[in-house]
């Protein structure tokens, strides 16, 4: 009754068992020959070792030949058979044993690398509790239909993609976005399958299940990225195409000249470029797998290799270095109260869709929340409780947008102009010294200042602030430590840009750029010999991301377009991943160079050693397999990179 | 009718071995396209199910000394 499990065990561990058996026989045969004079017995045991270890190899070799490919198994089989034919039993057994041990270890370590990604998939639960006709039913997760409401208890994993319809909770999104801090979720917020509900019950309306979830799509993309050949890999593949047949010709030629069969067989054994072809893919698969687990999607080896050469990172400002949430930081009245200036601005801006306009209207509606001291803690208008008393803002009678400058509106018989200095100059509005100084002070602080004009007289200055992300200065510093230049690209005026650049410690900035100018700025940097990475949101910055050598999109989890245009995508809005992604790319590039270097060195030494008869058949195989294992283990270090 | 099937081969030990498996699979009757990836161990086969028997795919992979798993 035990036979079934034993058979299964043997099937599953066939390679390990065969290798062990061949190893034991090889050791036994060698000892027998070394310690005793029973040479025939020793030879018999060694041949058995070669046959036991070699059966599977020879079988695979047969199929290799049948499908007309020239693989290492054919070469090893030839070498082993040849060695037995000329009576070199010890060599034959050693070659077979070392090869199968090497293959076993290589397959095993590669399995670990390949599994790195599968672990992510296993995070999504198999079943979901669905509310149907008022009752909770447990159904397989992939059978949940779009629109079904799934109930997720605290501590459970979320089985589908969907929107919260009921309940509030903190959700650990690390499996999808790599963010370590849990994210607060309330009705209307988006949830991803595979993330973990922490402290409250949630009801989720399904938007995707089974293979149609964000996690699944990310994993699919990551796999395709891992499979795509990097330029180094293609180069090596082309080389390998000539290398193996070349060595065979060399082996035949060497035999013709020296009549030394062992020498020719040894050449055959090292004829598989081994470490050279294995090294680069292992480095790249490990790096992409590591990145995926940290919420960074690398689009492939090609992008990774180029990213390894980055020497300058350019940042977009709004939404990248800053939170992208404009709030009114300060209002100053000239000849009127601050409140009135703000109200006039709000009326003029009410119909505008500009993000500065939103901030001004929001601040006017919630007068208590706008800080008017110009201090460091600022308005939180956008987050203010909806229940708080709101002041209503009247509609303007008419309204015109002056692109890039501001708005002109009429209300209650008066003309209202809200905008920058260029708009005021255009309309011949006199700017008093006090106003100019106020504007200058705000801009030097990094805020964007707009003038409020009533009937041709400036009555107020409003400072709008988009707060820096807390992580920004540390991110810039980390990049600088890694020897990378940093640059800010922004549409803001010089003074505001300079202030922001100074606050985050960024090396340089380019101000007053329209979107197309950002592309030109990047091209100019490239012409100066820089390898430029551009960090942006992936939608507004899509053209500059495409122009840069490496485009890095932030907050890409939900947006396919961002992932499409970028070379790397950060799943979360997590600026701190940038230094990680850049240093990982650099580490990968070095890792590939190390692996190629080691492989070339090994092959050169082996070839030289064989041709000068220093390297025997068994030693050749040992070094060959050892070098393959060395590059795999070296590449796998990238799985643990932090 | 054209069908697509996937396997995972987690024990590929070298890229050339993956190429050999790819060639062997392309040789199976009714197979239209094959992708075998050393990096991920993913095997994707497009085949005509009037001609090809999917069971032979597994045998073909096993003959090369590897263990196919359902994807």
Quick one: pLDDT at residue A2?
54
- Is a pLDDT exceeding 90 seen at residue A581? yes
Quick one: pLDDT at residue A558?
60
**A117/B contact by beta carbon, under 8 A:** yes
Both structure tokens of A69: 């490919």
Reported as a single tens digit per residue, the pLDDT across A329-347 is 999 999 899 999 999 999 9
User: pLDDT band for position A380 (50/70/90)?
Assistant: very low
- Is a pLDDT exceeding 50 seen at residue A25? yes
B17, B40, B60: residue with CB nearest A227:
B40
B11, B20, B67: residue with CB nearest A64:
B20
Reported as a single tens digit per residue, the pLDDT across A162-212 is 999 999 999 988 878 877 788 899 999 999 998 989 888 999 999 998 888
Smallest CA-to-CA distance from B24 within B66, A115, A170 is with B66
A56, A69, A115: residue with CB nearest B65:
A56
**B14/A contact by beta carbon, under 8 A:** yes
**Does residue A316 have an active-site annotation?**
yes
Quick one: pLDDT at residue A389?
57
- Is a pLDDT exceeding 70 seen at residue A632? yes
Phi and psi at A154, nearest 5°, equal -60, 140
**B10/A contact by beta carbon, under 8 A:** yes
Quick one: pLDDT at residue A529?
95
- Residues A547, A517: contact at Cβ < 8 Å? no
Reported as a single tens digit per residue, the pLDDT across A583-597 is 999 999 999 999 999
Give percent of chain A above pLDDT 90.
32
**A227/B contact by beta carbon, under 8 A:** yes
User: pLDDT band for position A373 (50/70/90)?
Assistant: very low
How far apart, in whole angstroms, are the C-alpha atoms of residue A310 and residue A302?
Answer: 13
A71, A226, A284: residue with CB nearest B16:
A71
Of A352-361, A380-389, A455-464, highest mean pLDDT:
A455-464
Whether A114 and B10 lie within 8 Å, measured CB to CB = yes
For A299-320+469-582, which CATH class?
Answer: alpha beta
- Is a pLDDT exceeding 80 seen at residue A124? no
Q: Among A201-215, A259-273, A519-533, whose mean pLDDT is lowest?
A: A259-273
How far apart, in whole angstroms, are the C-alpha atoms of residue A100 and residue B13?
Answer: 10
Quick one: pLDDT at residue A346?
92
Chain B residues with CB-CB distance to A223 below 8 A: 40, 42
Quick one: pLDDT at residue A372?
44
Q: Where are the domains of chain A?
A: 3-120, 127-212, 299-320+469-582, 323-467
Whether A107 and B13 lie within 8 Å, measured CB to CB = yes
A12, A67, A103, A636, best to mutate vs chain B, most B CBs in 10 Å: A67
Chain B residues with CB-CB distance to A107 below 8 A: 10-13
**B65/A contact by beta carbon, under 8 A:** yes
Quick one: pLDDT at residue A130?
92
Whether B39 and A227 lie within 8 Å, measured CB to CB = yes
Smallest CA-to-CA distance from A350 within A335, A363, A340, A333 is with A363
**DSSP string of chain B, one letter each residue:** -EEEEEEEETT---HHHHHHHHHHHHTSTTEEEEEE-TTT-EEEEEEETTT--HHHHHHHHHHTT--EEE-
A12, A117, A278: residue with CB nearest B14:
A278
Chain A residues with CB-CB distance to B19 below 8 A: 69, 71
- Is a pLDDT exceeding 60 seen at residue A350? yes
Asked whether the CA dihedral A100, B43, A557, A145 is positive or negative, the reply is negative
Quick one: pLDDT at residue A317?
87
**End-to-end CA distance of chain B, in Å?**
21
Q: Among A212-226, A387-401, A430-444, A465-479, whose mean pLDDT is lowest?
A: A387-401
Whether A59 and B10 lie within 8 Å, measured CB to CB = no
User: pLDDT band for position A383 (50/70/90)?
Assistant: very low
Closest chain A residue to B35, measured at CA: A227
Residues with Cβ within 8 Å of residue A376, at least 6 apart in sequence? none
- Residues B54, B8: contact at Cβ < 8 Å? no
User: pLDDT band for position A516 (50/70/90)?
Assistant: confident
CATH no. for B2-70: 3.30.70.100
Whether B42 and A66 lie within 8 Å, measured CB to CB = no
- Is a pLDDT exceeding 50 seen at residue A387? no
Whether B65 and A57 lie within 8 Å, measured CB to CB = yes
Quick one: pLDDT at residue A382?
41
Alpha carbon of A621: minimum distance to chain B alpha carbons (Å) = 15
Chain B residues with CB-CB distance to A281 below 8 A: 15, 38-39
With left for phi above 0 and alpha for psi between -120 and 50, is residue A521 left, alpha or beta?
alpha
How far apart, in whole angstroms, are the C-alpha atoms of residue A573 and residue A325?
Answer: 13
Rg (CA), chain A: 34
Alpha carbon of B57: minimum distance to chain A alpha carbons (Å) = 14
Quick one: pLDDT at residue A178?
77
- Is a pLDDT exceeding 70 seen at residue A241? yes
Task: Please tell us whether the domain made up of A127-212 is placed in CATH 2.70.150.10.
Answer: yes
- Is a pLDDT exceeding 90 seen at residue A18? no
What is the DSSP code (8-state) at residue A613? T
User: pLDDT band for position A123 (50/70/90)?
Assistant: confident
- Is a pLDDT exceeding 80 seen at residue B25? yes
Quick one: pLDDT at residue A240?
79
Whether A107 and B39 lie within 8 Å, measured CB to CB = no
With H, G, I as helix, E, B as strand and everything else as coil, classify residue A328: strand
Angle at the Cα of A623 (from A28 to A249), degrees rounded to 5?
Answer: 110
Quick one: pLDDT at residue A438?
92
Chain B residues with CB-CB distance to A58 below 8 A: none
Alpha carbon of B54: minimum distance to chain A alpha carbons (Å) = 19
Alpha carbon of A56: minimum distance to chain B alpha carbons (Å) = 7
Closest chain A residue to B65, measured at CA: A60
Q: Of the residues A316, A330, A358, A567, which is catalytic?
A: A316
Q: Which helix (H) or strand (E) holds A438?
A: helix A433-444
Chain A residues with CB-CB distance to B20 below 8 A: 60, 63-64, 67, 69, 71
User: pLDDT band for position A114 (50/70/90)?
Assistant: confident
**B24/A contact by beta carbon, under 8 A:** yes
B19, B35, B64: residue with CB nearest A63:
B64
Task: Please tell us whether the domain made up of A323-467 is placed in CATH 3.40.50.300.
Answer: no
Mean pLDDT of A103-107: 86
A246 or A313: which leads in pLDDT: A313
Chain A residues with CB-CB distance to B40 below 8 A: 114, 117, 223, 226-227, 285
- Residues A250, A265: contact at Cβ < 8 Å? no
Q: Where are the domains of chain B?
A: 2-70
Q: What is the overall mean pLDDT for chain A?
A: 86
Chain A residues with CB-CB distance to B15 below 8 A: 237, 277-278, 281
Quick one: pLDDT at residue A549?
94
């Amino acid at each position: 009754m035990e036979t079934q499990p034993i058979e299964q065990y043997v099937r599953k561990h066939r390679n390990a068992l065969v290798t062990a058996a061949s190893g034991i026989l090889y050791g036994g045969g060698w000892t027998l020959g070394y310690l005793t004079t029973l040479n025939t017995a020793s030879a018999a045991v060694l041949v058995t070792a070669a046959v036991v270890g070699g059966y599977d190899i020879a079988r695979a070799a047969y199929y290799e030949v049948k499908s007309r490919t020239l693989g290492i198994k054919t070469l090893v089989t030839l070498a082993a058979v040849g060695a037995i034919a000329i009576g070199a039993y010890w060599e034959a057994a050693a070659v077979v044993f070392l090869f199968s041990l090497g293959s076993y270890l290589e397959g095993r370590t590669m399995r670990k690398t390949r599994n790195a990604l599968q672990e992510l998939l296993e995070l999504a639960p198999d079943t979901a509790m669905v509310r149907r006709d008022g009752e909770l039913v447990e159904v397989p997760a992939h059978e949940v239909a779009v629109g079904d409401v799934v109930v997720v208890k605290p501590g459970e994993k979320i089985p589908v993609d969907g929107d919260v319809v009921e309940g509030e909770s903190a959700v650990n999104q690390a499996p999808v976005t790599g963010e370590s801090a849990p994210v607060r979720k309330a009705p209307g917020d988006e949830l991803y399958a595979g993330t973990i509900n922490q402290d409250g019950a949630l009801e989720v309306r399904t938007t995707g299940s089974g293979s149609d979830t964000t996690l699944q799509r990310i994993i699919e993309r990551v796999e395709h990225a891992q499979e795509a050949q990097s330029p180094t890999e293609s180069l090596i593949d082309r080389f390998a195409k000539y290398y193996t047949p070349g060595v065979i010709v060399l082996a035949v030629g060497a035999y013709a000249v020296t009549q030394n069969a062992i020498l020719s067989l040894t050449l055959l054994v090292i004829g598989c470029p081994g470490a050279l072809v294995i090294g680069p893919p292992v480095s790249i698969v490990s790096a992409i797998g590591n990145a995926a687990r940290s919420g960074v999607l690398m689009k492939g080896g090609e992008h990774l290799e180029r990213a390894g050469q980055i020497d300058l990172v350019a940042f977009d400002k709004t939404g990248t270095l800053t939170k992208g949430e404009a709030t009114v930081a300060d209002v100053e009245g000239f000849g009127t109260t601050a409140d009135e200036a703000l109200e006039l601005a709000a009326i003029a801006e009410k119909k505008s869709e500009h993000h500065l306009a939103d901030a001004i209207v929001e601040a006017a509606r919630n007068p208590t929340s706008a800080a008017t001291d110009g201090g460091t803690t600022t308005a939180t208008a956008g987050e203010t409780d909806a229940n708080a008393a709101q002041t209503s803002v009247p509609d303007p009678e008419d309204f015109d947008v002056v692109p890039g400058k501001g708005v002109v509106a009429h209300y209650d018989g008066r003309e209202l102009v809200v905008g920058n200095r260029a708009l005021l100059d255009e309309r011949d509005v006199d700017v008093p010294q006090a106003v100019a100084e106020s504007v200058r002070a705000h801009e030097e602080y990094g805020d964007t200042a707009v003038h409020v004009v009533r009937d041709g007289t400036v009555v107020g200055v409003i400072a709008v602030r988009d707060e820096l992300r807390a992580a920004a200065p540390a991110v810039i510093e980390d990049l600088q430590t890694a020897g990378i230049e940093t640059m800010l690209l922004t549409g803001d005026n010089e003074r505001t840009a300079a202030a922001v650049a100074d606050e985050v410690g960024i090396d340089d900035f380019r101000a007053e750029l329209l979107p197309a100018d950002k592309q030109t700025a990047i091209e100019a940097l490239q012409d100066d010999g820089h390898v430029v990475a551009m960090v942006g949101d992936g939608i507004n910055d899509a053209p500059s991301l495409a122009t840069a050598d490496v485009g890095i999109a932030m907050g890409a989890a939900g947006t396919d377009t961002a992932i499409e245009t970028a070379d790397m995508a950060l799943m979360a809005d997590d600026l701190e991943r940038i230094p990680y992604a850049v240093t990982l790319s650099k580490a990968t590039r070095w890792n590939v160079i190390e692996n190629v270097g080691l492989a070339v060195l090994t092959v050169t030494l082996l070839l030289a050693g064989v041709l000068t008869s220093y390297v025997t058949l068994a030693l050749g195989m040992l070094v060959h397999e050892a070098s393959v294992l060395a590059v795999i283990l070296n590449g796998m270090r990238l799985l643990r990179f932090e | 009718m054209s069908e697509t099937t996937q396997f995972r081969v987690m024990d590929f030990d070298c890229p050339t071995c993956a190429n050999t498996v790819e060639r062997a699979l392309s040789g199976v009757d009714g197979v239209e396209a094959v992708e075998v990836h050393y990096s991920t161990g993913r095997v994707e086969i497009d085949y005509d199910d009037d001609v090809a028997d999917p069971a032979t795919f597994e045998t073909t992979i096993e003959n090369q000394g590897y263990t196919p798993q359902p994807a």
